Every structure is written in C-alpha cells, then in structure tokens.
Amino acid sequence: MRIERVEVRELALPLVHPFETSFGRTTGKEFLLVTAHADGLTGLGECVADRDPFYLPETNGTVWHVLEEFLVPLLLRLDLHHPREVLPALARVRGHEMAKAALEMAVWELWSRRDGVPLGRLLGGSKTQVEAGVSVGLQEDEATLLRKVEGEIAAGYRRLKVKIKPGRDVGLVRALRERFGGVPLMVDANSAYTLDDIARLRELDVFGLMMIEQPLAWDDVVDHAALQRELRTPICLDESVRSADDARHALDLGACGVINIKAGRVGGFLSSLAIHDLCRARGVPVWCGGMLESGIGRLANVHLQTLPGFSLPGDTSASARYFEEDLVDPPVTVSADGLIAVPTGPGIGHEVVWSRVERATRRRAGWTLG
Ligand code: OSB
Ligand code: MG
C-alpha cells in the first residue's frame, strides 16, 4: 500500500475540569490529529504532544515541523506491506517519538479499516473488554481530593491513581487509606522528586501502593534503579521509557517493576508491542497510560490494551470525565463494574463526528504523494 496523502490538524477542545500535575495545569486540550489517506480510506492518529514541553520535550509545534519537513516525505516514499514497516523507515530521524507515533498509528488504523478488522485485532490483541482505571489530578485541598476519589470509586473504576508532588504526598495517601481502606491505589509524581527525597518516598512504603509512577527525572533510569533498591513499592516508569531499548535498559538495571505504555510516547504501536513482549517475557506487568486523549486516541488505547500483557487496569476512563462532547460517537463509556467494551467494527470502531473535528480545528495542512 502506498499512502497517498497525509493531513495534520491542530485541534482545541475545552476540558470539563482542569487537570493538574506536578508539571502544570491544563484547562483545554490542544493536540494534533494526523490522518493518512489511501484507497479511498482515512486512518487516524492522535498525537500526544501538548502546546508546551513540560511533560516531555516535544510540542505541537515541533511535531508539526518534523512531520512536514522529514517524516511525511519519508512515509510518502514507501510501498508498505505491513504497518510494522513504518517506524523502522523513520529511524533516520532521531527522537521525536510523539511525531513518529501519530503518523505510524494513523497507518495502523488505516490498515485495520482496509482489512475490515478492529484495530486491536491487527495489533494481535483478543480481549473483548478492558479494565478501566482513573487518574485524578492534584486538587485544591485534601477534602476535594477525597470527594473526587469517592466519586470515581462509586463510578466503578478498578484502580485509582492520584497525582503527587513534594509536600502533597504522604499526607494525601494516608488520608486516602484511612478513608477508602485497601482500594487498588497508586501515585504518579511526574518527575517531581530527586534522590535527596529518598526518606520521604520511603514513607510511602507503608501504604501498600500498587506502584509509584515516575518519581525521578524524565530522562533517568540510573537514579530510579538506586531508588528502587531502597523501596519495597514497585516503581513504574512513564516518561523515562521512550523506546523498547529504554525499557530493556530500565529492566536490566532494576529501575522499575512495572511499565506504563503510551503508544504516543514510544514512537507508536510497533514499539509498544516490543515493550509489551519484552515485559511479558520477563514477567513484568504493563498497563496503558493516557494523555487526556479525545475519543480517537482513547479508543486507540482501548485497542492496545486487548493484548494479554496489559494485566493491570490503565488510565483509560470515560470520555465524559474530560469532554462535554467527544469527537467520536458513541463516546467511550465505562460500565458500573469498571469495564470498557472493545469496539468490534473496523479501525477504532466508533464513528468520528467530522463536523465536531472541523469546529475544533485551528489550523491544518496536507501533503500529497509526488
Ligand atoms: O503522567 O500519566 C501521566 C496526563 C497528561 C500528561 C501525563 C500524564 C497524564 C495522566 C492522565 O496521568 C491520564 C489520563 O487521564 O488520560
Ligand atoms: Mg505518568
């Protein structure tokens, strides 16, 4: 298959509630949507970059630039026999995993539509439903956090993650344990700590957390390995794993006991599958992270989680937690017992409401073969 055309749009969608982490506060979702076109079909790839480089170095601006100048020209030259060929063909471009992922994922999605199968099937998955977990941002105060978490437990979510940062950590977790007992609970620091905080982080050990996500620097595995030696609680890496080699290095060093896979962070689905397979072979659990995606990226996450190694609930929760009106119809919903049904139609499996995409579009461009 030859990809005939690639389009990119920048979209803005208001968030129902602001989302706050140790690196900042988001009130609206601004992201790029890549589409790949061939044989009269359109494939979708939602990019996980943001306006700013506060989570990882890429931004909407760098992704647009690298797509236009380098990645799209490389892709349009290929005669593809399988979407697995895309990521290796882009390897001359170093880094820029979010840009590569958006393009690569659009080709996988297109391919699954062409074959008339759900995206998850093409990826090698077989689950018909996936377990939903939820990520709760930093709140104004402890009472607000407790109220939010209570609502999410009542909604059926099977695992709770709360954001922490220095000074808003041990006390919050203690309050959550006192109020909600032994619910499946974890924390995510988004790189807010250093090795100087070992004593503080060790205080978290008594709470039986499932894991502590990305306590140390976004580009570190060595310090995480030193920290893991001091902690009983498993460390989960997010930011620090941006390729299958990063994952292998982290596991070889003992830097973590769990990996959060976001296809958009690691260069796409091929790299996600490699990390999944590596972790499965070594008995390391993985789960699927989230980046406040619209229904398009959210459904891609649902499909990825149909693979067997995704043995823990991830961060994929209901569209309504984020958006008044999602870009897909129906939106992503979670059952009262915390499950998401995997769509059975071709591709992501829910209709894209193009009129809503148009309304949310701030700028667009397209590039054609030849
Ligand atoms: O670290 O997992 C993260 C959101 C934006 C950037 C980074 C992260 C997150 C989340 C939210 O935790 C996950 C979601 O609800 O999509
Ligand atoms: Mg994280």
Residue 69: pLDDT over 80: yes
Which candidate, 219, 233, 244, places its Cα nearest to that of 53? 219
pLDDT higher than threshold 90 for residue 370:
no
Q: What is the mean pLDDT of residues 189-216?
A: 98
8 Å CB contact between 240 and 263: no
- For residue 8, the surrounding DSSP H or E stretch is strand 5-21
Can you tell me which residue has the tokens 């461009």? 365
Mode of pairing for the β-strands spanning 328-329 and 351-352:
antiparallel
d(CA 362, CA 63): 15
pLDDT of residue 189: 98
Residue of 29, 161, 163, 165 marked active site: 163
Q: Which residues contact 211 (CB under 8 A, 6 or more apart)?
A: 186, 233, 234, 235, 236, 257, 258
Mean pLDDT of 340-363: 98
pLDDT of residue 369 exceeding 90: no
15, 52, 56, 135: residue to mutate for ligand 1 pocket, most atoms within 8 A of CB: 135
315 Cα–ligand 1 center, Å: 7
Alpha-carbon dihedral sign for residues 203, 205, 207, 212: positive
Pairing of strands 24-38, 235-237: unpaired
Mean pLDDT of 307-315: 98
Which among 349, 350, 343, 345 has a CA at the least distance from the CA of 329? 350
Average pLDDT of the chain, as a whole number = 98
State pTM to two decimals.
0.98
Q: Is residue 163 among the annotated active site residues?
A: yes
Among this protein's residues, is 165 annotated catalytic? no
Residue 269, SS3? helix
pLDDT at 268 over 80: yes
User: Which ligand is closest in space to the CA of residue 137?
Assistant: 1
Residue 166 has pLDDT above 90, yes or no: yes
Which two three-digit tokens encode residue 341?
Answer: 């049904």
Q: Count CB neighbours of 370 within 10 A.
A: 4
Report the pLDDT value the prediction gives residue 194, as an integer from 0 to 100. Answer: 98
Q: 352 forms bridges with which residues in the sheet?
A: 328
The identity of residue 287, as a single letter, is W
Residue nearest to atom 8 of ligand 1 (CA): 291
Selected catalytic residue, list 29, 161, 165, 262: 262
pLDDT tens digits, 203-239: 999 999 999 999 999 999 999 999 999 999 999 999 9
* Percent residues over pLDDT 90 in the chain: 99
